[in-house]
Structure 1
Amino acid sequence: MSTLTQYETLEPDEDRLVAEMIEAMHHQQEQDFPPGATGRAAHAKHTGLVKIAFAVEPSLPDHLRIGVFAEPRTYEGWLRFSSGNGKPQSDGVKDLRGAAIKLHDVPGDRIPESDEPTTQDFILLNTPAIPLGTVKLFHGVITLGQAKFAAKMLPTHPHVVAGLAKAVITPTSPADIPYWSNTASLLGPDLVVKYVLLPTSAYTSPKREKHDDYYLSDHLQEHLSQTEATFDFMVQVRTDPDTMPVEDIAVRWDEEKAPLVKVATVTIAQQDFRTAERNRLAEELTFSIAHALKDHRPIGAVARARMHIYGGMAAWRQQRDQRTKTI
C-alpha cells in the first residue's frame, strides 16, 4: 500500500480488506460483463462526458498557490458525469451522482501511484460526507452487496443505512447540483484540504414529473445546446484536526470553521456530447484520485484504498478487453 504521511494512520487489516474488495469486484464484473465490453465496477453509466476549461483564479493567496493552482492559467480537460451503480440503470432510479475531472498538460512531479504522466484528476460525489466512512464499512457493502449490508447494519448502525438512503437522488441535471471530494488531499506539504464543485450556471433544467431512462443526459444536452454551464471549484482548508478527520469520511467538515475558497472556474462550453466518439471515450478514459501531483496527494484510508482499487480495476478491464490505456 501507499506510504503514510504524517497526517494518516493505518486502518486495521487495511491491506487485506482492499485485496478482498478487488477480488469481489473482479468476480462481479465477470458476471455482469462479457470479455471485450467490461464496464466499470462503479459509476458504470455516464450521463455525459464533456470538454471543460479549468481557469485558475488570478489573485489567490500565496498559501493556496500550489500545484494546479500555482499560476493563473487555464487547463483543458474532461468532466465525466455519472451515476454510482455498478450496473447501468435508468436515470430515474435514485443513485449517487458523480463528477470526475481530468485536467491535461499539468506539469509537476506525480505521486508513485499515478500511471498518467501529465494529468490531474479530481473525483467528486453529490454528497458532502459518505456514511461508509472507513475501509471496513466499504468492504462490507462491496463483499455483501447493498441489500445484505443494509440488513446487517440496520439494527446496530441505523444512521449508516439512513445516510446512504439520503445520499441517492434524482436531480434535474448533472449541471445543477454541487459535488464534494469526500476524501482529503494534501495541498503542498503543510495543508490538508477537501474540494467542492458548486454549480453557478444562469440556466437550470426544469423539474419534471416523469424521469425517463436517459433524462439526465437529455437535460444536460438541452442545457448545452442553449448556453454554457459553469461551476466554481472550491478548496476547503482543514483548520481543526480533531473535528475534521481524514480517516473517517463520514464526518463533514464544518464550513463555518473551514470556509470554502474559490480557486478556479470550470466552464463547459456549448457542445454536442452525444456522439459515438464521445461515448467511446467516456468508457475508455480512466479517472482516479491516484492521477495526482505530489502537491495534491490523496490521504486517508479510504483514499488509499480507492487509489489501489481504481488502478487495479482499470488495468484488469483493459487486460480483459485486450485494449491499451487511453489518456
Structure 2
Amino acid sequence: MQFKKEKLELGKEYPIAGEIAGIKEIEQISIEALKQSYPDNVRPVLRDAHPKHHGCVRAEFIVHDDIPNELKIGIFKQPCTFTAGIRFSNNKVQDDTKKDVRGMAIKLFGIEGEKLLERQKEEKTQDLLLINHPVFFIKNVQDYVEFFRSRQLSQGNLPLKFFFLNPNPFKWHLQEFIIGMVMLNKKVSSPLAIQYWSSTPYKLGDRAIKFTAVPSSKNLISSVAQTPDYLRQAMIEHLNNQDASFDFLIQLQTDAKKMPIEDPRVEWKSPFHKVATIQISRQQFDSPQQMEFCEHLSFTPWHSLPEHQPLGGVNRARKQVYEALSESRHNLNNVVVKEPTKEEFLELFG
C-alpha cells in the first residue's frame, strides 16, 4: 500500500519522531563536555559554540519606513532606531589564521512585549544570530544527535565518523561534509567585511523567513598582519578611523517544498528585501571591562518576540541546549544569568 505524502504548508513545522528525547541527549552530552573541558582550576568557562570573540560593538539597528506592508511585523512594524550590541566571533578558540566559521550575534535593546523564554518574558531584548554561510550542515535533530555522539568520541575534533564511517555508503553524510568544508574554508579579512546569514528559518508573523546582513563596500580595509588575533585588530583599526555598516535583509519562504522549514541544508531561492540598516559608529571596544562584559553576554535565537519565533528542528534543539549551557557556564563562572539593560550596555559602550 502506498501512503500519500503530506502536503507541506508555508510556515509550518514538522517535528520528527523522538525529537524530544534527542534534544535531551544533546543537552546531556553538551553539559558533560563543558565540564570535562573546564575542570575546577580552569576559568573562565567559555561558550560551547563561538567561544572566541573579537569584541562587542555598539550599533544602531535602523528599521526603514519604506518596507512592504506584509513585512511590517514585530521589530519591523514601524520605523525605529534600536540600540544594539553586536558580538563578532570565531567558532573555536584558535589562531585567527586558521580556517573557521565566523559569527555575528546581534542583541537589540528596548524591545517591548512578552518574550518566548519563560524566565525572561519581561526582558526587553531580541537576539538575531548569524554565521558567514547561508546554510547549516545538519538536517534535523536525529542527525544532530549522531553528530554530537561522534564529536564526543572524537573529543571535540572533526567527527569524521558522523560523515563517513557508516558501513553503508548510502548513509554517509556527504552533503553535510561538503557544506562543512565550504563553511570552514572561507578567507576572511575582517569580521566587518563579510556577509552573514541566519541559515535557519524564523517566523515573521504567520510567514517564515531567513535573514542576512550584507556589509557596505566601505567596510573593506587594507589588510592587517596575520597575527593570531588579526580579526580583532582589523576591527580596531577600522573603527578607530571610520564607521561601518551592514544592510539587513529578510527573505520570505514562497515554496514549502523547495524552501523547507525542517532542512536548513537547503538554500532558499527567493528575493531578499532590505528592511533595516546596521550602523556601527567609530568607537573603541576592546578595553578589559568591555571584553569581560562581552564574555558574560548570553545569546540565543529564543531571546525573541513570538512574532520572530525560531523554526525547525535545529532551532528547537537550540532552545533547550543553549539555555542549559548558558546557565551551566554562568554558574561555573559565578556570574548571574541576566539580560543586560540598554543603560548597562551604554554605560560601557556608549
Same fold (TM over 0.5): yes
Give the distance between the partners of 1:115 and 1:34, measured in 2 at CA: 29
Q: 1:251 aligned to 2:263?
A: no
Give the distance between the partners of 1:203 and 1:185, measured in 2 at CA: 28
- Return the letter of the residue paired with 2:34: Q
- Displacement of 1:244 in angstroms is 0.4
Give the distance between the partners of 2:133 and 2:158, measured in 1 at CA: 23
Q: Which residue of 2 aligns with 1:241?
A: 256
Q: Which residue of 1 aligns with 2:245?
A: 230
Stretches (4+) displaced over 3 A: none
* Greater shift in the superposed pair: 315-324 or 37-46: 315-324
- Displacement of 1:151 in angstroms is 3.8
TM-score by length of 1: 0.92
Work out which of the residue numbers 309, 313, 327 in structure 2 matches 1:297.
Answer: 309
Contact (CA 8 Å) 2:107, 2:299: kept in 1 or not? yes
Q: 1:69 aligned to 2:81?
A: no
- Return the letter of the residue paired with 1:216: L
The Cα offsets for residues 302-321 of structure 1, whole Å up to 9 and x where unpaired, read as 11111111111101112222
Q: Which residue of 2 aligns with 1:206?
A: 222
The Cα offsets for residues 254-286 of structure 1, whole Å up to 9 and x where unpaired, read as 1xxx20001100011111111111111111010
Contact (CA 8 Å) 1:125, 1:179: kept in 2 or not? yes
Give the distance between the partners of 2:119 and 2:268, measured in 1 at CA: 27
Give the alignment of 1:86-125 within 5 angstroms: 88-113=93-118, 115=120, 117-125=123-131
> Any stretches of 5+ residues in structure 1 without a counterpart?
none
- Displacement of 1:33 in angstroms is 2.1
Q: Which residue of 2 aligns with 1:283?
A: 295
Give the distance between the partners of 1:177 and 1:118, measured in 2 at CA: 29
Give the distance between the partners of 2:45 and 2:30, measured in 1 at CA: 12
Q: Which residue of 2 aligns with 1:172?
A: 189
Give the alignment of 1:176-195 within 5 angstroms: 176-188=193-205, 190-195=206-211
Contact (CA 8 Å) 1:201, 1:228: kept in 2 or not? no
- Displacement of 1:148 in angstroms is 6.1
**CA RMSD across the alignment:** 1.8
The Cα offsets for residues 5-43 of structure 1, whole Å up to 9 and x where unpaired, read as 971111232112211111111122112224452110110
Q: Structure 1 272/34 Cα, relative in aligned 2: closer, same or farther at 3 Å? A: farther
Give the distance between the partners of 2:330 and 2:286, measured in 1 at CA: 24
Contact (CA 8 Å) 1:113, 1:291: kept in 2 or not? no
Q: Which residue of 1 aligns with 2:136?
A: 130
Contact (CA 8 Å) 2:146, 2:162: kept in 1 or not? no
Give the distance between the partners of 1:12 and 1:92, measured in 2 at CA: 41
Q: Structure 1 115/212 Cα, relative in aligned 2: closer, same or farther at 3 Å? A: same
- Indicate the SS of the match to 1:80: strand
The Cα offsets for residues 130-156 of structure 1, whole Å up to 9 and x where unpaired, read as 121222222223222265632442352
Q: Which residue of 2 aligns with 1:272?
A: 284
Q: Structure 1 46/229 Cα, relative in aligned 2: closer, same or farther at 3 Å? A: same
- Indicate the SS of the match to 2:159: helix
Q: Which residue of 1 aligns with 2:6?
A: none
Larger-gyration structure (1/2)? 2
Give the distance between the partners of 1:101 and 1:220, measured in 2 at CA: 16
- Displacement of 1:200 in angstroms is 1.0
Give the distance between the partners of 1:121 and 1:153, measured in 2 at CA: 31
Give the distance between the partners of 1:59 and 1:148, measured in 2 at CA: 45
The Cα offsets for residues 184-214 of structure 1, whole Å up to 9 and x where unpaired, read as 11111x2111111111141413346x63210
Give the distance between the partners of 2:233 and 2:29, measured in 1 at CA: 34
Contact (CA 8 Å) 2:11, 2:253: kept in 1 or not? no
Q: Which residue of 2 aligns with 1:310?
A: 322
Work out which of the residue numbers 322, 329, 335 in structure 2 matches 1:323.
Answer: 335
Q: 1:197 aligned to 2:203?
A: no
Give the distance between the partners of 2:131 and 2:72, measured in 1 at CA: 25
> Any stretches of 5+ residues in structure 2 without a counterpart?
1-9, 341-350
The Cα offsets for residues 64-109 of structure 1, whole Å up to 9 and x where unpaired, read as 1111011111000100001112xx1111110111100000111123
Q: Which residue of 2 aligns with 1:59?
A: 66
